[in-house]
Amino acid sequence: MFESHFGFSAPPFQLNPDPTFYFGSKGHSNALAYLQYGVHQAEGFIVVTGDIGAGKTTLVRTLLEGLDSTQVKAAQIASTQLDATGLLQAMLTAFGVPHQPGALSKASLISTLEAFFMTLAIKNKRALLVVDEAQNLSMDAIEELRMLSNFQLRKQALLQSFLVGQPELRGMLESQRLEQLRQRVIASCHLGPLDADETRRYIEHRLNRVGWKGNPSFELGAFQKIHQFSSGIPRRINLLCNRLLLSAFLEDLTGITEAHVLRIDRELRAEVGESTVVQAPFRRDAAAARQPVQREHAPDTAAVGLPMAPPARIASVASGRAPLHRIVRRDAAAYRRTVLCLVDSPASYLNAALFAAAVEGTKTASRVVVVSTVDARQLGPVENYAEIAGLPAVEIHFGIAEGSIAHRAAEASVCCEAMLDEFLPDLVVPVGGSDEVVSCALVASRSGVPLLRVGAGARPSRMFPAQRLNASLLDRMAAVLYAPDALAALALGQDGIAAEQVHVLGSLTQDGAAAANTASPLASALISHHGLSHGYVLVTARVGQGRLEVRLLSKLVLMLSRVRGDRPMLWLVCGETQSALRAQGLGSVLSRSGIALASMPVFSARLSILQRASCLLTDAADDLIEVGTALGTPMLLIDEEENAPVSTDRHAKWITLSAADLGIETSTTNPPPPAAATSTAAEAMALHLDGWLSQVEAGLQQSPEPAAVGRPRLKEASP
C-alpha cells in the first residue's frame, strides 16, 4: 500500500524470511561462519537455535543459497509434529522421491531413502535435510535421523542434517538418550538479539534494499525506541517498522519521530494484549561465566559451539580412549595465571613454544600449558625444537585417532573440556588451525574463556578452502588478535573485526625461522655439501604415512627430471622414500638429472633450508606448507590424480605428475636468510598480553564477552 508512495521497489519489512534482505550483524555473521564450517565438513548435524523471530530461517536460507546445487541436493521439512515414520515419509516427499504416503512400512521407507541417497552419491552429490521447528520432533524421530546419518558410501556420509528450532531444542539434545547424536554435531549456534546500533543499521539496510531515498526520515531517538520496544528481535523490528511506514503513509508524514514510535508501539501492544516490553535474553557476565560451578546445573542455552555435552559424556567418552600423554618438565604450579595453547602440527608447536617461553619470562609470568590434538610422535623428537626455543613446562597430547570429522570433533571437545576443568585457564590461544583445534576453541568460547589469536588475518592458500574457513572462524571468535603484518590486519578489518581488537606484532613463524638460521648448523652444512647456497627448488614430497603412493614415485622422478632445467634442486627424503627409490632403481635417474638427494633432517634444519629456497615442491600433507605460507615462499603441490582445480593464488598452485615446467614465478636472487632479530614477535606479544590481562584483572578493561558463554564446569576451583 505505502510502497509506491515512498518510492520503494518492494515491501522492506515483510515478515516472511527472505535471504535477499539478510543483514550481517555480528551475531548473524558469526553464526553464518559457524554454519559454513559445519557444511564444509559434509557430514554430521548442524544445530541452529534462537528465539522466535531471531532470523534463524533467513540465516539458513542464506546459507543454502550459497551452496552449489550440482554438489548438494537440499530439502526442507517445515511441519514437524511427526513421529519416526511420519518423518521418513516427509523426507521422501521433501526430496521428491516417488512413493505412496501411508502405503509403505518403516523398513521400506528407510530402504527407499537409502537407495535415493546412493543414487545421489553415484552422481557425486550429497543430501542435505533442513528440519525447521525441530523442537517439535519426537525423540524417536530425532533418533531416526541419527540412524540415517550412518548411511555411507566409500567412507563418505550420504546425509547431513540441519536442526533448526527454538531454545528448548537444546534441552532436548542434552538428554541422555541422544548421547550418540550429540557426538555427531559438527556445529551449533544460537542467534541472539541485535544491539541498538545494529538495530539502526538493520532498519537502514532493509530500506536501502528497496531504494529508500530518505523519505520518510527517522530521528535518532526513533531508532532507539524501536530497539527498546522490539528488544532487538528482527521479526519484532519488522512488525513495528511496517506499521510505522503504514501510519506515516496514512497520516502523510515525511519523518518518523520518537513520539510516533511510542504511539504506534502502544497501539500494537493493545491489539495483541501485551502490556510490557519484552526484555532481551539475559546474558551472563563473561567473567562470572568462567567461574566453575557444579556440573548438575543446567547449561546456558545462549551458546555457540560444538557439540553440546551432558555431564555423563565426559566419563563415557574418556573411558573409551587411551589416556592423555602428559609431559611435565618443570613445576609451573606457582603461576597466578594460566594460558592454554592449542597446537596440531610441528610448525604450530614451535610457535607455541616460542610464545610460551616469552610469556613465562614476563614480569608477572603466566603458566603456559601446550595442548596438542595429535600424538606426540607426529610432532617428532624434542631435538627438533629444543635448539630454537625453550620447551614448554607442561604439554599434553590428545592423540586423537583417525576417524570421521564428527568423531574427531567430539573427541577433541571432550578432551578440551577436561583440560578447561583441570587448569581453569584465563585465556586460550589456538595456534593451529585444524578441525580439532577449532572444536576445542569452540568449547573454550562456550565455557566463557576468552580466546587470543596469534597469526590473525593470515589466510592459508585458496588451494585449502577448509583451512581458510577455519582460520576465519578462529579470528571471529577471538577477543584479542595479534596480526603478523598490516596486510593481515586489513583482512581482519574487512571481516568486520573491530580495529581495537587487532594488534600488529609480527610473526611467530618468522621468529622461529630466524632462530633456526643461527641455531641449526646442520642446514648450512647440508646445503654446502651439495654445492648450493640459495635459490634452489626444495622438494620434500615423500611416500608413506598417507602421503604419496609408492606406485607414483617413478612418475614423480620423471617429472622432476623434466622440470629440473637450469634451476638447482634439492630433494629431502625420509627413510621410506629412500628405500622405495632404491628398490625401483631411480637413484641413477636423479643423479643424471643433477637433482641433489639428502636425508630428511630435523624440523629446525628444514626451516632453515626452506628459507634459502626459491620454491617448495611437495605433497599436500607436508608440514612445511604452513611455514611456507607464513614466509611467503612460492609453493607447488603435487596433484596425484591430475584433476585438481586451477588455483588463483599467485604464490601456490597444483602441479601434475606429467608437468613439463613449474609454471610459477620463483626468485633466483634470494638474499641469504636474515639473522635473528634482537626484539622478537613473541616478546612483543608477551608484553602486550601481560598488560592486557593486568587491565582485565584490575577492571580497567572488560574481558570481551565471547560468542557464547556459560557452560558448567566439572569442578570447583582449587583454593
Task: Give the pLDDT of residue 333.
Answer: 62
> Would you say residue 710 lies in a domain?
no
> Would you say residue 705 lies in a domain?
no
CA atoms lying within 13 Å on the CB side of residue 665: 7
Q: Are residues 498 and 637 located together in one domain of the fold?
A: no
Tell me how far apart the alpha carbons of residues 145 and 137 are, in angstroms, rounded to a whole number: 10
Q: What is the pLDDT of residues 600-653, one digit of tens each?
A: 888 888 888 998 898 999 988 888 988 988 888 899 888 876 665 566 666 788
Q: Are residues 345 and 479 located together in one domain of the fold?
A: yes
- Residue 535's H or E segment, with its range, is none
> Would you say residue 563 lies in a domain?
yes
Residue 274 — very low, low, confident or very high, per pLDDT cuts 50/70/90? Answer: low
Structural domain span for residue 581: 513-656
Task: Give the pLDDT of residue 646.
Answer: 61
CATH number of the domain where residue 166 is located: 3.40.50.300
> Would you say residue 435 lies in a domain?
yes
CATH number of the domain where residue 422 is located: 3.40.50.2000
Is it the case that residue 280 has pLDDT exceeding 70?
A: no
Q: What is the pLDDT of residues 492-512, one digit of tens each?
A: 988 888 889 999 999 999 888
Contact indicator for 299, 710 with CB cutoff of 8 Å:
yes
Is it the case that residue 711 has pLDDT exceeding 50?
A: no
Q: Are residues 556 and 648 located together in one domain of the fold?
A: yes
Residue 268 — very low, low, confident or very high, per pLDDT cuts 50/70/90? Answer: confident
Based on its alpha-carbon atoms, the radius of gyration of the chain, rounded to whole angstroms, reads: 28
Least confident of 27-31, 99-103, 654-658, 684-688: 99-103
**CA separation (Å) from 397 to 322, 369, 377, 378, 466?**
11, 11, 10, 10, 23
Number of other CB atoms surrounding residue 560 within 10 Å: 22
Q: Are residues 104 and 200 located together in one domain of the fold?
A: no
Percent of the chain with pLDDT over 90: 20
Least confident of 133-142, 361-370, 608-617, 660-669: 660-669
Q: Are residues 219 and 348 located together in one domain of the fold?
A: no
Q: CA geometry: angle at 60 spanning 55 and 62, to 5°?
A: 95
Last residue in a domain, options 191, 210, 242: 191
Mean pLDDT, the chain, whole residue set: 80
Q: Are residues 261 and 226 located together in one domain of the fold?
A: yes
Comparison of pLDDT for 295 and 675, the residue scoring more: 675
Q: Are residues 384 and 499 located together in one domain of the fold?
A: yes
Least confident of 97-101, 238-242, 359-363: 97-101
Q: What is the pLDDT of residues 424-474, one digit of tens each?
A: 999 999 999 988 998 899 888 878 899 999 999 998 887 788 888 889 889
Nearest CA among 643, 639, 635, 637 for reference residue 656: 639
User: Is the C-alpha dihedral spanning 314, 315, 319, 324 positive or negative?
Assistant: positive
> Would you say residue 531 lies in a domain?
yes
Is it the case that residue 320 has pLDDT exceeding 60?
A: no
Tell me how far apart the alpha carbons of residues 666 and 535 are, in angstroms, rounded to a whole number: 8
Q: What is the pLDDT of residues 400-433, one digit of tens each?
A: 877 777 778 778 888 898 899 888 999 999 999 9
Number of other CB atoms surrounding residue 157 within 10 Å: 22
Is it the case that residue 713 has pLDDT exceeding 90?
A: no
Q: Are residues 408 and 458 located together in one domain of the fold?
A: yes
Q: Are residues 63 and 138 located together in one domain of the fold?
A: yes
- By three-state DSSP, how is residue 121 classified? helix
> What DSSP assignment string belongs to 187-228?
EEEEE----HHHHHHHHHHHHHHTT--S-SEE-HHHHHHHHH
> Would you say residue 336 lies in a domain?
yes
Adjacent-strand bridge partners of 480: 452
Residue 701 — very low, low, confident or very high, per pLDDT cuts 50/70/90? Answer: low
Last residue in a domain, options 132, 161, 191: 191
Q: Are residues 38 and 124 located together in one domain of the fold?
A: yes
- How many domains does the chain fold into? 4
> Would you say residue 12 lies in a domain?
yes
Task: Give the pLDDT of residue 102.
Answer: 59
> Would you say residue 295 lies in a domain?
no
CATH number of the domain where residue 265 is located: 1.10.8.60
Q: Are residues 432 and 324 located together in one domain of the fold?
A: yes
- Residue 575's H or E segment, with its range, is helix 575-583
Last residue in a domain, options 132, 163, 191: 191
Contact indicator for 568, 536 with CB cutoff of 8 Å:
yes
Contact indicator for 48, 17 with CB cutoff of 8 Å:
no
Q: Are residues 247 and 317 located together in one domain of the fold?
A: no
Q: What is the pLDDT of residues 99-154, one digit of tens each?
A: 666 556 788 888 888 888 888 888 888 899 999 888 888 888 888 888 888 888 77
Tell me how far apart the alpha carbons of residues 595 and 402 are, in angstroms, rounded to a whole number: 35
